[in-house]
Structure 1
Amino acid sequence: MAEAYPWQDELWHRLAGRTQHAHAYLLHGPQGIGKRALAERLMALLLCQRPAAQQACGACKSCLLLQAGSHPDNFILEPEEADKAIKVDQVRDLVGFIVQTAQMGGRKVVLVEPAEAMNINAANALLKSLEEPSGNTVLLLVSHQPSRLLPTVKSRCVQQACPLPSQAVSLQWLATALPEVDEAARIDLLALAAGSPLAVVRLQAAGIVEQRALVVDGVKKLLKGQQTPSQLADAWSGVPLLLLFDWFCDWSNLLLRYRLTADEQGLGLSDMRKVLQYLADKSTQNKVLDIQDWVLMQRQKVLAKANLNRVLLIEALLVSWMALPGQR
């Protein structure tokens, strides 16, 4: 049974308490807040033969088959490889499942995650099934980036925003999930994860603290002339490209904010405050705006899984960063 997260209680009661369900839901929100778990709980409830108190019983034949991964009326559509697209052939297999009669006499339930991984052809192939699914079928689409979905896909679903928990609720949950991490570190990790508590656990396991220290140290050495962009591009080979661009995007936003407000408390985490204050004081607003636009543009390409030369992209990023201080 998927975990029930405390920040989802209100939303769960609204969804589980419906007397009639939509044929398609789009559960969207930031990554790392438990949307997949919410969808799996709803899937179990919709398939359960003896639901009680807005929960799947966990003991009927349907629940046992679902737990074993062999329920004949359940279909999970996701990329065949991590970070790859969902292909049109996969959607055609799904459409073939949807037109079949439910083998256990109840609903058929489909889970698609992440929905934005469908390429254009795949998304178009799903449209008819989204609009008029055969029989008693419910489709649950989970999206971390709904802006990347076709409008025709979104318009055929009941769109449900999933809540980002408050900092207090997240820290309370993280105290149990990461008891070995002290509170100050949990606060910093939550900031690095943009407030998504499940992302904190994943990033902590992936060594984000060490990766962040490596990148911050590299930026400082770059600005002091102690390392070159090409050296840092090699040194950062183990840091995910999206994570790098997330940080530089955040730093460029903080630079602009500081130039407009001169608020030192708005310079983000302590590890980069002095660096950002120095860059903001030594650069022009136009330069900051230019690098912000460039970083955002490149981040979009990374998100879209464009075929990028990682080393050249990081070098270009760092050359632009080096040029921030200078002639005003």
Structure 2
Amino acid sequence: MADTYPWQDELWRQLAGREQHAHAYLLHGPAGIGKRAFAERLLALLLCRSPQNLEACGKCKACLLLAAGTHPDAFALEPEEADKAIKVDQVRDLVGFVTQTAQLSGRKLVLVEPVEAMNLNAANALLKSLEEPAGNTVLLLISHQPSRLLPTVKSRCVQLACPVPDEAVGLRWLAQALPGLSDEERGELLALAAGSPLSAARLQEQGVREQRALVVEGVKKLLKQQQGPSQLAEGWNAIPLLLLFNWFCEWAHLVLRYQLSKDEQGLGAADMRKVVQYLADKSEQARLLALQDWLLEQRQKVLAKGNLNRVLLLEALLVKWASLPGQG
């Protein structure tokens, strides 16, 4: 059975209770809020032969086949390798599945995650199936970044914004998932995950709090001219590039916001507040805006899985960061 999360209850009641379903749903929202589990739960319900109380029974032939990964009317499409694109040949396999007759329940279900991983050719190959899927087919598309999708893909789906839990709900869930941590540590994780509880739990598994402490210490040494960009870039080799750019984009935004508002309540996490204030006081706004533009541009390249030289990119970032208060 798919995992269930309390912040999804209302959306589930609205969707699972429908007598008729759209041919394609686009489930979108930030990563780490349970969209995949929600889609798998819906897929199981729509294939189940004896649903009970808006849930798959878990006991019928369809449910047993699905649990074993051998249901003939279920198809999942994902990148063949982590963080790689979904290729056009994979989508052609999907299209072939959609054109077949359902073998068991009279309905076919397709799950695609993440939709934005499709390259242009793959996305175009999917359009016909999205617009007029053969037979009784329901496509469940999952997107963490719907802004990257083709308008022609989005327009062919019923778009469902998946809820992000409020802080109290997220912390209660984390208290059960990570009972060995303190309330303060769970709060730090949830903040680092931008409020997404499942992402917060994964960050703990990946040791991200320790990684962030290393980066924050490095940034402070950089600004004090105690360590150089090249040395830091090499030392951060194990830290995901996207995570680094997320942090630096956030910090640049906080510096700019504090310059404009002087609101000490908007300085972000405690570990960088003094640095944010220092840079806001010492940096020219034009230089800060130029850095922010550059950071966002490079972050998009990272998201697009561009062929980037990691060390040179980080060195460039750190040289620009060190130059904010007139250093370097």
The normalised TM-score by structure 1 is 0.99
State the Cα deviation string for residues 27-63 of structure 1 (Å, max 9, x = none). Answer: 0000000000000000000000000110000000000
User: Within 5 A, what are the aligned runs for 1:104-253?
Assistant: 104-253=104-253
Q: Per the alignment, in what secondary structure is the counterpart of residue 159 of structure 1?
A: strand
Q: Deviation at 1:90?
A: 0.4
Q: Deviation at 1:286?
A: 1.2
Q: Per the alignment, in what secondary structure is the counterpart of residue 109 of structure 2?
A: strand
* 1:201 maps to amino acid: A
Stretches of structure 2 that go unaligned for 5 or more consecutive residues are none
User: Within 5 A, what are the aligned runs for 1:3-14?
Assistant: 3-14=3-14
Q: Provide the rounded CA distance (Å) in 2 between the counterparts of 1:264 and 1:312.
A: 34
Q: Provide the rounded CA distance (Å) in 2 between the counterparts of 1:276 and 1:183.
A: 25
* 2:215 maps to amino acid: V
Q: Provide the rounded CA distance (Å) in 1 between the counterparts of 2:276 and 2:253.
A: 10
Q: Deviation at 1:105?
A: 3.7
Q: Provide the rounded CA distance (Å) in 1 between the counterparts of 2:68 and 2:101.
A: 21
Q: Deviation at 1:288?
A: 1.4
* 1:196 maps to amino acid: S
* 1:191 maps to amino acid: A
* 1:65 maps to amino acid: L
Q: Deviation at 1:289?
A: 1.0
Q: Provide the rounded CA distance (Å) in 1 between the counterparts of 2:252 and 2:181.
A: 29
Which residue matches 2:28?
A: 28
Query: How many matched pairs?
Result: 327
Q: Per the alignment, in what secondary structure is the counterpart of residue 27 of structure 1?
A: strand
State the Cα deviation string for residues 71-102 of structure 1 (Å, max 9, x = none). Answer: 00000000000000000000001111100000
Identical positions, percent: 75
Which residue matches 2:284?
A: 284
Q: Provide the rounded CA distance (Å) in 1 between the counterparts of 2:112 and 2:96.
A: 15
* Equivalent pair of 2:62/2:105 in contact (CA under 8 Å): no
Q: Provide the rounded CA distance (Å) in 1 between the counterparts of 2:223 and 2:242.
A: 22
* 2:283 maps to amino acid: S
Q: Provide the rounded CA distance (Å) in 1 between the counterparts of 2:325 and 2:264.
A: 18
Q: Per the alignment, in what secondary structure is the counterpart of residue 63 of structure 1?
A: helix
* 1:156 maps to amino acid: R
Which residue matches 2:18?
A: 18
* 1:160 maps to amino acid: L
Q: Deviation at 1:104?
A: 0.6
State the Cα deviation string for residues 150-203 of structure 1 (Å, max 9, x = none). Answer: 111100000000011100100011000000110011111111001000000101
Q: Deviation at 1:326?
A: 2.2
Q: Deviation at 1:210?
A: 0.7
Q: Deviation at 1:284?
A: 1.3
Stretches of structure 1 that go unaligned for 5 or more consecutive residues are none
Q: Provide the rounded CA distance (Å) in 1 between the counterparts of 2:182 and 2:129.
A: 49
Which residue matches 1:83?
A: 83
Which residue matches 1:273?
A: 273
Which residue matches 2:323?
A: 323
Which residue matches 1:301?
A: 301
Q: Deviation at 1:106?
A: 1.9
Q: Provide the rounded CA distance (Å) in 2 between the counterparts of 1:252 and 1:164.
A: 25
* 1:252 maps to amino acid: A
Q: Per the alignment, in what secondary structure is the counterpart of residue 7 of structure 1?
A: helix
* Equivalent pair of 2:47/2:105 in contact (CA under 8 Å): no
* 1:280 maps to amino acid: A
Ranges of 4+ aligned residues in structure 1 off by more than 6 Å: none
Which residue matches 2:92?
A: 92
Q: Deviation at 1:26?
A: 0.2
* 2:216 maps to amino acid: V
